[in-house]
């Protein structure tokens, strides 16, 4: 019995383009199936887990709300304290400059000369009185009408800083007034001599009768 020669097998070759298309198609199908599976699984989840998750988030927010509020309040307080410190530093510098100014001997001599009228030995003081330096009476205001709300420290510093007002010139009306003559006393008139007093209980003596004529 003769053996037949083996039948040659046909090679099943697939073009490269078709293989790429098949792979792309399979990938597209897998994505579609995964999306469909997710869409089916999500509605089936327990709603209790969602509620628990929301509750946990709310609790976390409430827990961090108080520390955040305290933090921002602390920052605001720090800002106010810093601003107050800056104002006090500026006030301190101003006071230090005033202290340095009053510690200067030349400034003290000038203030003593200007405020107290102190002069050095050998100097002559001249005072000029100007009528314009005194305000008219109708423009003056009583001190009681202006309330003074300043503190004692401010009053002290203002008294040291303010320039004293010039003294008003003395009134010369008394010197310029015309002299008036003093009234002359009335001339004294001589009084008549008083009659002699008679003792009590005695009648006055009658005058003697005239003598009768002779017949």
Q: Does residue 70 belong to any structural domain of this protein?
A: yes
Cα separation, 99 vs 182, in Å, equals: 63
Q: Does residue 3 belong to any structural domain of this protein?
A: no
Q: What integer is the mean pLDDT of 51-72?
A: 91
Q: Which of 112, 140, 114, 139 is nearest to 127 (CA)?
A: 114
What domain count does the chain have? 1
Give the per-residue pLDDT at 155. Answer: 77
Q: In terms of pLDDT, which residue wins out, 78 or 129? A: 78
- List pLDDT tens digits, range 72-119: 999 999 999 999 999 999 999 999 999 999 899 898 888 888 888 888
pLDDT > 90 fraction of the chain, expressed in percent and rounded: 22
3-state per-residue secondary structure call for 152-191 = HHHHHHHHHHCCCCCCCCCCCHHHHCCCCCCCCCCCCCCC
Average pLDDT, the chain: 71
Q: The pTM is what? A: 0.31
Cα separation, 147 vs 160, in Å, equals: 20
3-state per-residue secondary structure call for 25-62 = HHHHHHHHHHHHHHHHHHHHCCHHHHHHHHHHHHHHHH
Token digits of residue 215:
């017949």
Least confident segment among 62-76, 112-126, 158-172 = 158-172
**pLDDT of 12 higher than 60:** no
Helix (H, G, I), strand (E, B) or coil at 195: coil
Q: Does residue 20 belong to any structural domain of this protein?
A: no
Q: Does residue 215 belong to any structural domain of this protein?
A: no
Chain Cα centroid distance, residue 74: 26
**pLDDT of 194 higher than 80:** no
Q: What integer is the mean pLDDT of 63-79?
A: 93
Q: Does residue 107 belong to any structural domain of this protein?
A: yes
Q: In terms of pLDDT, which residue wins out, 96 or 22? A: 96
Give the per-residue pLDDT at 98. Answer: 92
Whether 168 contacts 133, CB under 8 Å:
yes
Q: Does residue 54 belong to any structural domain of this protein?
A: yes
Give the per-residue pLDDT at 199. Answer: 46
Domain that holds residue 89: 47-119
Question: Residue 154: pLDDT band by 50, 70, 90 thresholds?
Answer: confident
- List pLDDT tens digits, range 26-55: 888 888 877 776 655 555 567 788 888 999
Q: Does residue 63 belong to any structural domain of this protein?
A: yes
């Amino acid at each position: 019995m003769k053996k037949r020669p083996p039948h040659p097998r046909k090679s099943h070759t697939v073009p490269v383009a078709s293989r790429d298309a098949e792979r792309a198609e399979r990938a597209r199908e897998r994505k579609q199936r995964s999306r469909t599976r997710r869409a089916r699984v999500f509605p089936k989840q327990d709603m209790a887990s969602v509620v628990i998750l929301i509750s946990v988030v709310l609790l976390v927010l409430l827990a961090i709300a108080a520390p955040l509020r305290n933090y921002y309040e602390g920052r605001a307080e720090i800002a106010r304290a810093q601003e107050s410190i800056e104002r006090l530093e500026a006030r301190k510098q101003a006071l230090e400059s005033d202290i340095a100014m009053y510690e200067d001997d030349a400034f003290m001599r000038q203030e003593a000369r200007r405020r107290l009228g102190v002069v050095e030995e050998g100097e002559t003081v001249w005072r000029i009185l100007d009528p314009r330096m005194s305000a008219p009476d109708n423009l003056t205001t009583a001190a009681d009408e202006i309330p003074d709300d300043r503190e004692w420290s401010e009053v002290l510093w203002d008294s040291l800083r303010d320039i004293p007002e010039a003294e008003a010139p003395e009134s010369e009306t008394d010197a310029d007034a015309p002299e008036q003559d003093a009234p002359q006393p009335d001339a004294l008139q001589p009084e008549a001599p008083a009659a002699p007093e008679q003792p009590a209980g005695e009648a006055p003596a009658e005058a003697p009768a005239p003598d009768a004529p002779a017949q």
